[in-house]
Amino acid sequence: MAPLHNPLVAEYGFPSTIPPLPQRDELDPVVRATVHSQRPDGVDLSATTQNGSAVTIRLTSVAPGVVRVELDPASMDRIDRPHVRLAHPPADTPTVSLEPAAPGHARLVTEFISVDVDLDPFRIAFNDVDGRTLLAQDPRPTDVTGRLAAPTFGVSRADGKVVATHDTFVCEPDEHFYGFGEKFTNFDKRGQWLEMWNYDAHGVNSERAYKNVPFFLSSRNYGVFVDSVTPIRFDMAATNFATFSVVVPDTALDYYVIAGANPMEVIRRYSDLVGKPILPPKWAFGLWVSSGFTADSAEATVARARELREHEVPSSVLHLDCYWQKFGRWSDLDWDSDAYPDPERTLAEIKSLGFRVCLWINPYIGIESPRFRLAAERGWFLRKPDGGVYVLQLWGGSHPEVAILDLTQPDAVAWFQSRLRELLRMGADVFKTDFGEGIPFDAIANDRSTGEQLHNVYTLIYNDLVAGVTAEETGRAALLAGRTAEETTHAELLPRAAAKKTTHAGMVWGRSTYAGGQRHAAQWAGDPNSTYQDLASTLRGGLSLSACGHAFWSHDIGGFHGQPTPDLYIRWAQFGLLSPLSRLHGMSTRLPWDYGEPALSIFRDMVRLRYRLLPYLYSCAMDAAETGEPIMRAVALAYPNDPALANIDLEYLLGPDLLVAPIYNAEGRRPVVFPPGGWVDVWSRQLIKGPSTRHIEVPLEQVPLFARADALIPTTDTISELSETPWDFVTFDAYLLSGGNTILCDLDGRTELQARVDGSTLDVSLRGAKQRVGLRVLPLTDTRIAQVRLNGELLAQRNTLTLDVATATSWSIQPDGMLTATLGQ
């Protein structure tokens, strides 16, 4: 079965292309089964395929609403190979009951999902708590000749050995599918054919992706996670419009069906299996400014930092890309002594201006590097089948060929981490972990893994190693009380760090990832062209990755390749600064003053807006680390019962209360589809009622941005330097029509605020960590407030009022009708 390749994408550009499957014999589907044994958490079935082979099927309730399906052929029928499993089901699994059913049938029942099994002919169906069928196998999808039209539940063989497993399901006429990683195609993946094989995608305009995740959500409130690191193929009603299929080029099939009351609950349950996002530090939510893919020096770096302060552009991280190292030696992890003769002094000067420092790295070593011969002699590189070092051109000819560090080789890992440790002790705070997708399928690793087995998981190992040493050197390992950093692996840090809802356990800024990679905050979207078309594709990729529970995503503001026009630069900045994380980066300058006026002033104002919203964004981030829910989310995930929103992928919710609709053309016009409820234009304060569609036109200095009616959005004054401390003073912007409530999460705990208009009285309740906050109630209605009560007590009214921590609890009406109040417990 040869893989489907995009004929418009040159294969020579992808040396680590997907491996072809061998020519297979006929499909061999499971046709009948008997109940072999019952377990407290499930049932084992003895099954037979069409050709008479024996297989074992295990159905297991692994967590609330989650059922695991395993198909395991008899050992003599398959090629023996190791399996890497990424799901980690809890040890305490829910019990199930095997209820009596009609002859030839079995029924497993749990609290949140039930499974109906037809034993002969064989078929599995999954139902929700109300008995509605969520997902059902299609055991005989045939064409008019009676031949199978899809790879049904069973196996494929080549030369008598199992080489692939597969399953096919009924696709309902109104069903939509989301996820699969950072796919830049339309957000609704129905009708698409998707490969789970990480690529250096060379852009954002093909199906190839830097970040593949074999998980998807259905609009019918279920998800499926296929637990395999092999190049899985999904056919989502692309070749057979009545079914969708999965083919796993492995000798066993292992997938999880996840039910939920809504898409967010499905994402939460999925993240319980593979891991939750790790919370980045507060400074990571400020603006990152890159040197870009251009020559650099100590003088230029320090000048860039000073100019950012002189132009009063709030910014928190200065990133140095490739050229902090010598060209041709970009993975030596040595400073270019000509460009940076005293790197410690340079880093100290940058830090004195209030910046954190990010350094670019990758796991490839050029053949012209002095370290290449040493590493080759010591066996630190991936090898070809003949035993030689695997050397590839992964730079499109712009850099010498490279070899790939074998991160299963302990000495190679020790060397790699020692070099990173030295840089961290010198003053670096975080690494941009570029690449990691270039593992050839026929490579051989030290642990005897093949490139096919290692390819997708290499990025997880790579980022684990970088995050681990970063955690140790930045003191994050102190999260584990009573244990030293040397006694703690990064994998052990993750769950406890997430449980404590505290700062990161070793942040990275990565390009490639796979299932479970949300533990590596953060990822960015690779290399888009500087066009409006690629801005839109980048947004679609971010929404698809977010649907897989990856909360901390970003992209190159302005695009990576090419020179954006000033209007595109501003429009992309508006999108980027209203993304979970924000970074300026490209092959040419992305510094705002290089785009003249009014670009500099508009950009500065947008950055200030982002910094004002940081309490809101950070609260969403803390919630994401606890629940697994993304910060950036498609409207279809937030409003799954509205079919009109199923395909909307050029706007998104940022957290629960902000609707963002980036401009994707030079005219400044676009339609905006408003979900049900009320939405307030942040600029004009106009109330728009949904569901509805409006055609919006905005000037260059504005982006269509809307607050949910009755939202209470926490804000703060613009801050130039972010620290790991609670916000000093938070002011809630209240878009009140009747009443709302919110919970603010911060490093000092949770603060709950409720506000309700009752006639001419504003009733406010404040409880939790914050002892004093501000409130701004926007004048959205004709109601005139005559009194304000806080926790039942009337507050004094003043003629004027300053919103700060020193102002006594009181309230005031401003000349424009806005009510302001300082609230203290």
pLDDT, tens digit, for every residue of 539-566? 999 999 999 999 999 999 999 999 999 9
Q: Which range is least confidently modeled, 140-154, 480-494, 582-596, 651-665?
A: 480-494
Checking if the pLDDT of 501 tops 70, the result is no
From 434, 472, 651, 710, active-site residue? 434
Number of H helices, E strands in the chain: 12, 46
Q: In the annotation, is 437 catalytic?
A: yes
Where exactly does CATH 3.20.20.80 map onto the chain? 282-361+410-627
Tell me what pLDDT residue 3 has: 38
pLDDT band at 331 (very low <50, low <70, confident <90, very high): confident
Q: What's 11-170+222-259's CATH class? A: mainly beta
**Residue 671: which pLDDT band, with cuts at 50, 70 and 90?**
very high
On the 0-12 / 13-18 / 19+ scale of CB atoms within 10 A, 318 is: buried
Arithmetic mean of pLDDT, 112-132: 97
Which architecture does CATH list for 725-824? Sandwich (2.60)
Classified as helix, coil or strand, 194 is strand
> Helices in 484-643 by DSSP H: which ranges?
490-499, 532-546, 566-577, 599-612, 614-627, 635-638
The pLDDT value given to residue 82: 58
Q: Which of 54-63, 79-88, 374-383, 516-525 is predicted with the least confidence, judged by mean pLDDT?
A: 79-88
Whether 273 and 256 have beta carbons less than 8 Å apart is answered as yes
| CATH 2.60.40.1760-classified regions of the chain | 11-170+222-259
With a cut of 50, say whether residue 779 has pLDDT above it.
yes
Residue 529 DSSP one-character state: B
Residue 663, pLDDT > 70, answer yes
Annotated catalytic, 434? yes
Q: Give the model confidence (pLDDT) of 712-754 as tens digits.
A: 999 998 676 899 999 999 999 999 999 999 999 999 999 999 9
pLDDT at 399: 85
Q: How far is Cα 278 from Cα 479, in angstroms, rounded to an integer? A: 13
Q: How far apart are CA 644 and CA 78, in angstroms?
A: 47
Q: Read off the DSSP letter of residue 75.
A: G
Q: What 3-state class would DSSP assign to 429?
A: coil
Q: Say how far residue 694 (Cα) sits from the centre of its chain.
A: 30
Q: Average pLDDT, whole number, for the chain?
A: 92
The architecture CATH gives domain 282-361+410-627: Alpha-Beta Barrel (3.20)
260 SS3 class: coil
Residue-wise pLDDT tens digits, 44-100: 999 999 999 999 999 999 999 999 999 998 755 555 555 688 999 988 888 899 887
Query: In the structure, what pLDDT confidence band is assigned to residue 326 with cuts at 50, 70 and 90?
Result: very high
The C-alpha atoms of residue 680 and residue 659 are separated, in whole angstroms, by: 10
**Per annotation, catalytic residue among 116, 254, 336, 437:** 437
Give residue 84's pLDDT: 81
- Across 123-138, average pLDDT: 97
Residues of the chain with CATH 2.60.420: 725-824
Per the residue annotation, which of 336, 527, 649, 681 is the catalytic one?
A: 527
